[in-house]
Structure 1
Amino acid sequence: MTGRRLTSLLAYVTTAAAGASLLSGCGVLPGTTGGSREPVTVMTWAPDGTRATNMPGMPAMAQAYARWANASGGIDGHELRILTCNEQNTSAGAAACARRAVREKVVAVVGSYSQNGRAFMAPLEAAGIPYIGGYGISEDEFTSPLSYPVNGGQASLMAGHGMQLAESCRKVSLVRPDTVAGDKLPDLLDSGLRKSRHGGATDIPAVEDAGEYTQQAGRARTKAGRENGCVAAVLGERTQTFFDSFRRLPGPEDGGARSDRGTSDDDSADAVRISSVLGSVSQPVIDRTGGARSPFEGAYVTGWYPEANDARWAPMRKVIQRHAFADNRVDPADAGVQTTWIAYTVLKKVVESLDRDSVTAGAVSHALDRGVTIDTGGLTPELRWRYEDLLGAPGFPRIVNHQVTFQVVRQGRLVAQKPGFVDVGETVLTAP
């Protein structure tokens, strides 16, 4: 056999052996050490295709995160496997997702959205599965010992929103869902308003999935009054529907929405100003409704995180660009997508801190309870869930991040009304 033929034969054998090794080593990731570490399986759930609030970007962001992590060798050598579930905005749907998480033996539920905390937390608690970085919409996320929230939830948003509105609004009307979760919102908003010796807001409950809100819009405008009045709507995905009804109210003499005229922050014209919180109003919603000509122009908005164009979101944007570029569910300006990114940042840090070949749900929750510290790159304060780190507020004892941001819609963009974070922990503590 000639030297050339021998070299070719050796190259073929080497290539075939390598291919056989790759086939037999199913699940082995590039960059891992022989695939000795077991995969880490987690679940992310959110409602999709419902008549109320939908959050399809959260599971989609989880899948993009897994593609990015696995392309780089996984999380500390572990392949990240994502299960997703449509929570359907029902207690039955939430419970079904939780039971599936238990059956699939996930090590955590990460970056998920559900208003039905009582339905999903009980199955997770029974199986010892931690709930990391939920959206913060249900009270159970801030009471369960197996929940590790990354933001202050609706409690911090509403208390902060009251503080934001107290600076500019003489009277405030609050339009909110007529639900168990919505029943908590008036007291929280009032705690922020009263911190500045402001009277409480007029509470206007509304059906969460209504097709129009003319009656509630008219009452809200009347109660807010024409002199520096503000109408706050916190209806999730239906907030856009409410403000569409609001701007269609007849009679300019009755006082239209100040945002319709695109006024600036310090405009003192007699008109009602609109406002909301992140999640009910977001940059994607503003873009869909006309940008600078949107009904949200000039609106006050309270958020958990820095504005979407802040440089601290650059790592997330890079992952989305490379691994979810064609997926229109994943918008980097969406609060659900942002919360999911932060939640998976927590998961990554915890798994790396364990440095084990096999990761269990118990090991994850134990590491969090023992005080592993999470640096989110300035998107939140450092996160840690030891007993002494918990806020301990009535109804929301497990809040560890009680900072919010004050934003305003200017020329179709959500921008910072004031720089930095505002600590609302004391305000949440004093809420009824």
Structure 2
Amino acid sequence: MTGRQQRSSSPRPFRRISAVRVLCTVAAGASLVSGCGVLPGGPGGSREPVTVMTWAPEGTPATNMPGMPAMAKAFARWVNAAGGIDGHELRVLTCNERNTSSGAADCARLAADKNVTAVVGSYSQHGNAFMAPLEAAGIPYLGGYGVAEREFSSFVSYPVNGGQAALLAGNGMQLGGQCGPVSIVRPDTITGDAMPELLNSGLSKGKNDGDDTSGKATDIRAAEDATDYTASAERARENAATAQDGCVTAVLGDRTETFFDSYRRLPDTGSGEDVRISSVLGSVGQPLVDRTGGSKGVFEGAYVTGWYPQAKDPAWRPMREVIQKHAFDDTSIDPADPGVQTTWIAYTALKSVIESIDRDTVSSGTLSHALDKGAKVETGGLTPTLRWRYEDMLGSPGYPRIVNSEVTFQVVRDGELVALKDGFVDVRGTLSDAGRSA
């Protein structure tokens, strides 16, 4: 890994982007930045407030993650009701990055303009657009969702999971031990272009006794925002049905449901009936399984790879209690959504690191210094211990800053996502192989 660049001591000034709407933790609705935080005279410590930002796409024709900023605001209400984080009132600004590179850049510039301490628990696939403004301002990006490659290479990024790279590598390992020919249906985007190599690396690792029958997956590109995927579904099933135990995996975000609806509607040709389907959490989750028929739906028996324990694991109880008491019946927060879960873990990490700093004022610089020097975060079994020292990082050319390379194997059984394999599976070696070949 190359040496780290020097962080600037103060944010670079940026022009405020007036088109970006900012929400805050004061009310359930929207407001301007002024007045954000807890109500005057409300709970909060005597130390200086800590202001952070969470962004995610909302109201777009492709992937939407409204539960992430909503979870961030609920977390702030929770900690502020108990006096803040180590006496610091937590103020949360939120931003809609609109699933566009310009929107992501606008949110990052706004974060710099507002001099936030960190961007926490956010989602954007446009890493090249948002990371440069954060790097210029020295603002740490803590616990991003993991869909952008820059999250695993930028010196201001501190990931809490292995991102989409770990999911694809893990999905390949999961399918390599179960499937013959595999088809992968993925978005025809720059982000999607990296998926087949990661899946194939996992397929190779997952083969039983060196069996080479699984080979490489057939790569099927599809529009990210299509309303029908019949042609892609036909091709995927046709390839998977060429031999016994074929599998189709689809990683299309919100459009995964649309794809498998098209797949379900394919005419019965007498072949492909035994093909199993698969995906990763974020594209398939318990809510999708429920609304598509549960045990009688298309996802019964599907293989799913995730970052964290299944949604009903007791380790999620603290998050569920916070949602119940502080989300004010916000229906956008689904505790089974991996975006919501990632935001919870990211804010758990923020809380832990701020408590370890023990200063009256916490800046982006002091937070980054604490992270770089080995602040240790325990997440109650939702992840391994998180730490972002140089020696904790994967160091792979493609994903140097990954510190958590573990995933979980799950399966839909009787309409419920349950563990296929107890505990976590470490895909560190698979990611290293994929990174060297990238």
Above 0.5 in TM-score? yes
Q: Does the Cα contact within 8 Å between 2:73 and 2:92 map onto a contact in 1? A: yes
Q: Does 1:72 align with 2:88?
A: no
Q: In structure 1, what is the Cα distance between the partners aligned to 2:43 and 2:332? A: 28
Q: Is the 8 A contact 2:240 2:272 kept in 1?
A: no
In the TM superposition, residue 28 of structure 1 has moved relative to its aligned partner by: 5.1
The reply on whether 1:138 has 2:138 as its aligned counterpart is no
Change in 2 beyond 3 A, CA 1:372/1:223: same
2:43 match: 30
Residue equivalent to 1:309: 312
Q: Deviations over 1:232-263 (max 9, x none)?
A: 0000000000000001111241323xxxxxxx
| Letter aligned with residue 46 of structure 1 | A
* Separation (CA, whole Å) in 2 of partners of 1:389 and 1:28: 42
1:87 matches 2:97: yes
Provide, for residues 265-303 of structure 1, a one-character-per-residue CA deviation record: whole Å limited to 9, x for no partner: xxxxxx110000010001111122222222111100000
Distance 1:26 1:222 in 2: 59
What residue is the counterpart of 1:227 in the other structure?
Answer: 244
CA deviation map 1:195-248 (0-9, x unaligned):
224411000011100001000000000111152110000000000000000011
Give 1:411 shift.
1.4
Aligned length: 391
SS of alignment partner, residue 254 of structure 1: coil
SS in structure 2 at match of 1:404: strand
Structure 1 residue 390 corresponds to structure 2 residue 408: no
Match of 2:106 among 96, 101, 106: 96
Tell me how far apart the structure 2 counterparts of residues 31 and 168 of structure 1 sit (CA, whole Å): 53
Deviations 1:17-72 (A, max 9, x none): xxxxxxxx97455363xx3x111100000001111110000000000000101001
For 1:146, the aligned partner's letter is V
The 5 A counterparts of 1:23-422 are 27=40, 29-30=42-43, 32=45, 35=46, 37-195=47-205, 196=207, 197=212, 198-225=214-241, 227-256=244-273, 271-422=274-425
Kindly, what percent of the aligned residue pairs are identical? 68
In structure 2, relative to structure 1, the CA distance for the partners of 1:26 and 1:173 (3 Å cut) is closer
Change (3 A) 1:29 1:370: farther
User: 1:83: how far off?
Assistant: 0.4
Q: How much is the aligned-residue C-alpha RMSD, in angstroms?
A: 1.2
Partners of 2:173 and 2:382 in 1: CA distance = 21
- CA deviation map 1:133-159 (0-9, x unaligned): 000000000000100000000111111
CA contact (8 A) 1:29 1:74 kept: no
The verdict on how the C-alpha distance between 1:31 and 1:154 changes in structure 2, with shifts beyond 3 A counting, is closer
**Whole-Å Cα distance in 2 between the matches of residues 290 and 47 of structure 1?**
27
**Is contact 1:171–1:230 with CA below 8 Å preserved after alignment?**
yes
Post-superposition offset of 1:403: 0.3
Q: Deviations over 1:370-395 (max 9, x none)?
A: 00000001100000000000001121
Q: What SS class does the counterpart of residue 43 from structure 1 fall into?
A: strand
Q: Cα gap change, 1:356/1:381 in structure 2, threshold over 3 Å: closer, same or farther? A: same
| Distance change in 2, residues 1:83/1:250 (3 Å) | same
Larger helix fraction of residues: 1
Task: Give the distance between the partners of 1:27 and 1:126, measured in 2 at CA.
Answer: 33
Alpha-carbon contact 1:192-1:427 (below 8 Å) kept: yes
Distance (whole Å) between structure 2 residues aligned to residue 378 and residue 28 of structure 1: 36
Q: 1:129 to 1:31 in 2, by over 3 A?
A: closer
- CA distance in 2 between counterparts of 1:364 and 1:227 reads 53
**Contact 1:29/1:73 (CA < 8 Å) preserved in 2?**
no
Provide the secondary structure at the position in 1 that maps to 2:248.
Answer: strand
Paired residue secondary structure (1:253): coil
What secondary structure, in the 3-state scheme, does the structure 2 residue paired with 1:302 have?
A: strand
1:369 partner letter: D
- The alignment partner of 2:98 has SS state of coil
For the pair shown, which has the larger CA radius of gyration, 1 or 2?
1
| Residues 27 and 79, structure 1, Cα contact 8 Å, conserved in 2 | no
Unpaired segments ≥5 residues, structure 1: 1-24, 257-270
Q: Is the 8 A contact 2:172 2:201 kept in 1?
A: yes
Change (3 A) 1:186 1:26: closer
Q: Secondary structure at the match of 1:173?
A: strand
Q: In structure 1, give the amino acid aligned to 2:164.
A: Q
Instruction: State the SS of the aligned residue for 1:394.
Output: coil
Q: Secondary structure at 1:97's aligned position in 2?
A: helix
Shift in Å, 1:357: 1.0
Structure 2 counterpart SS, 1:44: strand
Give the Cα separation in 2 of the matches to 1:402 and 1:43.
26
Structure 1 residue identity aligned to 2:90: L
2: CA distance, partners of 1:144 / 1:27: 38
CA distance in 1, matches of 2:433, 2:88: 44
Q: Distance in 2 between matches of 1:249 and 1:306?
A: 33
2:43 and 2:257 mapped to 1: Cα distance?
A: 45
